């Protein structure tokens, strides 16, 4: 749901990759210039310099309806599951189009239809074709349109697809996307993992609403974003869980995690529904820590609402999985935690609902605006609950950054593989405290007044931020 056409923002890296003749995509399909033709091809990337082929140009997704059937690994020693999906994608063209792309990685398309009419497989202008190029990180489904779409027109495209699920890795080697686990799947997409489980315009600026129908073996629980819609329905050994996410959401914030979860329900301020899913495999000290942290959610929501305005979405909660992914993600309305949820992480992921999810940076290089705020919010909560003052946490953080000499990175453009570096989090939080408290550090901070979409060059000179 964005009003912009982003073909013109295609970054230099994308242009270079395309010029290099990235295998399998012909120039006409990939060209960022196509938008100028009377009827063009929606570009195969949406302009993020770090992930040139993530997202697509020429259209704006309004709604994803994802019908998934998932069989977790039959042999827990071999972490491979089976996923079959039908995605029904409602979109609006932002330019005249004779074809468009979705991102889809590692899964095979079996059928496509546009507004109820079958599209054939092939490389002709009104056919569909798939490119899977791991080396160049190009995973594209191109759909030719027999009836051209004019700018402003809507279309509904249905894609049937499926295949084996594994344990995808991001550019840093961390697990992400549809991560197959022994008892299900932990699904965390940041930054470009959504295409590992559905065809998508994987551009954080193209927010959309989602419906999820997730069918899993009877006894398993599937949890997605938003609110559950009716009771799960069981038929012939399979149970279908339906979730509706009515708040527009970036694709990296979607989840459809599957496990041996126990669901619990609570209420936050103003009756906000809180739905928690904790894996039965979480036990002992991890379970004690998790239960205590999740019990604080209503208080945390009240605290942050008082600071930043009303909680922005229709629901909240948590998914706590017993897996080895090893990090949490702020999946919209329902963060996912790995192994256990602790208090600092829960308030961090809650903070992201305001900073990152509701208000979002246009480009991934501005990630410090998510992570700096979420880390700063950990400091604010610790002060609020009498654990440590913000001033002390700032001082300690700066001392640690000093001792490890972590001031060299430009956190306003840290590089693709440093998106989740400690500097981005800690220097981001330190920058926000410095701006708020008008204290100087002797070290580089982003410019005061930096916008969500700005870059800043760190200063080499000592400075104060008083204005």
Residues that bind ligand ARG (CB under 6 A): 170, 172, 174, 176, 190, 327-330, 349, 371, 420
Measured at the alpha carbon of residue 292, what is the angle toward residues 289 and 294, in degrees to the nearest 5?
105
Identify which of residues 247 and 349 has a Cβ nearer to ligand ARG in the complex.
Answer: 349
User: Around Cβ 319, how many Cβ atoms within 10 Å?
Assistant: 31
Identify which of residues 43 and 411 has a Cβ nearer to Zn ion in the complex.
Answer: 411
The residues facing 188 across adjacent strands are: 177
CB of 203 to Zn ion, least distance (A): 20
Identify which of residues 40 and 335 has a Cβ nearer to ligand ARG in the complex.
Answer: 335
**Which of ligand ARG, Zn ion, none binds 183 (CB below 5-8 Å, type-dependent)?**
none
Label residue 447 left, alpha or beta by phi (over 0 means left) and psi (-120 to 50 means alpha).
beta
Termini Cα distance of the chain? 37
169 vs 148: CA distance, rounded Å: 37
Pairing of strands 336-338, 316-321: parallel
Identify which of residues 176 and 407 has a Cβ nearer to ligand ARG in the complex.
Answer: 176
> How many residues would you count in the chain?
467
CB of 440 to ligand ARG, least distance (A): 27
**Which of Zn ion, ligand ARG, none binds 328 (CB below 5-8 Å, type-dependent)?**
ligand ARG
Comparing every residue's Cβ against Zn ion, the nearest one is: 374
Identify which of residues 130 and 345 has a Cβ nearer to ligand ARG in the complex.
Answer: 345
CB of 367 to ligand ARG, least distance (A): 8
Identify which of residues 198 and 425 has a Cβ nearer to Zn ion in the complex.
Answer: 425
Residues 6+ away with beta carbon under 8 Å from 4: 94, 205
Residues 6+ away with beta carbon under 8 Å from 443: 398, 401, 402, 407
Identify which of residues 59 and 376 has a Cβ nearer to ligand ARG in the complex.
Answer: 376
CB of 467 to ligand ARG, least distance (A): 30
Long-range contacts of the stretch 260-266 (C-beta < 8 A, 24+): 260/183, 260/184, 260/219, 260/220, 260/221, 261/221, 261/223, 261/319, 262/221, 263/221, 263/223, 266/297, 266/298
**Which of ligand ARG, Zn ion, none binds 60 (CB below 5-8 Å, type-dependent)?**
none
Closest C-alpha among 211, 192, 207 to residue 249: 207
CB of 327 to Zn ion, least distance (A): 9
Identify which of residues 151 and 344 has a Cβ nearer to ligand ARG in the complex.
Answer: 344
Contact 224, 256 (CB under 8 A): yes
The residues facing 109 across adjacent strands are: 161
CB of 255 to Zn ion, least distance (A): 15
Q: Burial level of 414, CB count in 10 A (0-12/13-18/19+)? A: buried
CB of 288 to ligand ARG, least distance (A): 22
Identify which of residues 144 and 428 has a Cβ nearer to Zn ion in the complex.
Answer: 428
Contact 377, 347 (CB under 8 A): yes
Identify which of residues 174 and 182 has a Cβ nearer to ligand ARG in the complex.
Answer: 174
Q: Burial level of 152, CB count in 10 A (0-12/13-18/19+)? A: exposed
**Which of Zn ion, ligand ARG, none binds 341 (CB below 5-8 Å, type-dependent)?**
none
Comparing every residue's Cβ against ligand ARG, the nearest one is: 174
Ordered strands of the 336-338 beta sheet: 261-267, 273-279, 316-321, 336-338
Please count the CA atoms within 13 angstroms of the CA of 301 that sit on its side-chain side.
24
Contact 26, 60 (CB under 8 A): no
CB of 330 to Zn ion, least distance (A): 6
What does the binding site for Zn ion look like in residue numbers (CB under 5 A)?
371, 374
CB of 267 to Zn ion, least distance (A): 25
CB of 103 to ligand ARG, least distance (A): 16
**Which of Zn ion, ligand ARG, none binds 170 (CB below 5-8 Å, type-dependent)?**
ligand ARG
The residues facing 68 across adjacent strands are: 85, 214
């Amino acid at each position: 749901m964005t009003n912009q056409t982003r073909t013109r923002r295609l970054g230099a890296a994308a242009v270079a990759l395309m010029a290099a003749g990235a295998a399998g995509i012909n120039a006409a399909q990939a060209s960022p210039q196509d938008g100028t033709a009377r009827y063009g091809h929606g570009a195969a990337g949406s302009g993020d310099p770090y992930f040139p082929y993530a997202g697509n140009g020429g259209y704006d997704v309004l709604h994803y309806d994802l019908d998934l059937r998932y069989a977790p690994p039959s042999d827990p020693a071999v972490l491979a599951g089976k996923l079959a999906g039908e995605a029904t994608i409602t979109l609006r063209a932002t330019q005249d189009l004779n074809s468009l792309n979705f991102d889809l990685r590692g899964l095979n398309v079996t059928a496509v239809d546009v507004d109820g009419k079958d599209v054939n497989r092939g490389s002709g202008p009104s056919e569909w074709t798939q490119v899977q190029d791991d080396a160049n990180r190009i995973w594209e489904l191109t759909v030719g349109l027999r009836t051209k779409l004019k700018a402003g027109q809507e279309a509904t495209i249905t894609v049937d697809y499926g295949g084996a699920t594994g344990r995808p890795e991001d550019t840093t080697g961390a697990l992400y996307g549809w991560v197959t686990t022994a008892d299900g799947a932990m699904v965390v997409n940041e930054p470009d993992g959504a295409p590992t489980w559905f065809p998508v315009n994987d551009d954080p600026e193209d927010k959309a609403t989602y419906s999820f129908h997730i069918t899993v073996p009877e006894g398993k629980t599937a949890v997605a974003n938003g609110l559950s819609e009716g009771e799960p329905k069981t038929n012939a050994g399979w149970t279908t869980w339906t979730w509706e996410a009515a708040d527009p959401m970036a694709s990296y914030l979607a989840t459809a995690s599957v496990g041996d979860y126990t669901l619990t329900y609570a209420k936050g301020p103003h009756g906000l529904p809180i739905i928690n899913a904790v894996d039965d495999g979480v036990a002992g000290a991890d379970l004690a820590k998790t239960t205590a942290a999740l019990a604080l959610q209503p208080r945390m929501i009240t605290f942050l609402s008082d600071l930043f305005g009303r909680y922005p979405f229709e629901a909240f909660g948590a998914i706590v999985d017993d897996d080895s992914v090893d990090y949490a993600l702020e999946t919209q309305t329902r963060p996912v935690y790995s192994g256990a949820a602790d208090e600092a992480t829960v308030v961090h992921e809650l903070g992201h609902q305001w900073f990152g999810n509701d208000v979002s940076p246009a480009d991934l290089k501005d990630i410090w605006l998510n992570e700096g705020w979420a880390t700063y919010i950990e400091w604010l909560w610790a002060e609020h609950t009498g654990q440590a003052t913000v001033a002390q946490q700032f001082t300690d953080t700066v001392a640690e950054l000093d001792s490890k000499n972590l001031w060299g990175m430009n956190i306003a453009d840290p590089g693709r593989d440093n998106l989740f570096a400690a500097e981005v989090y800690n220097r981001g939080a330190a920058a926000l405290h410095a701006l708020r408290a008008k204290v100087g550090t002797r070290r580089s901070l982003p410019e005061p007044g930096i916008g969500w979409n700005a870059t800043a060059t760190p200063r080499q000179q000592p400075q104060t931020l008083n204005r």
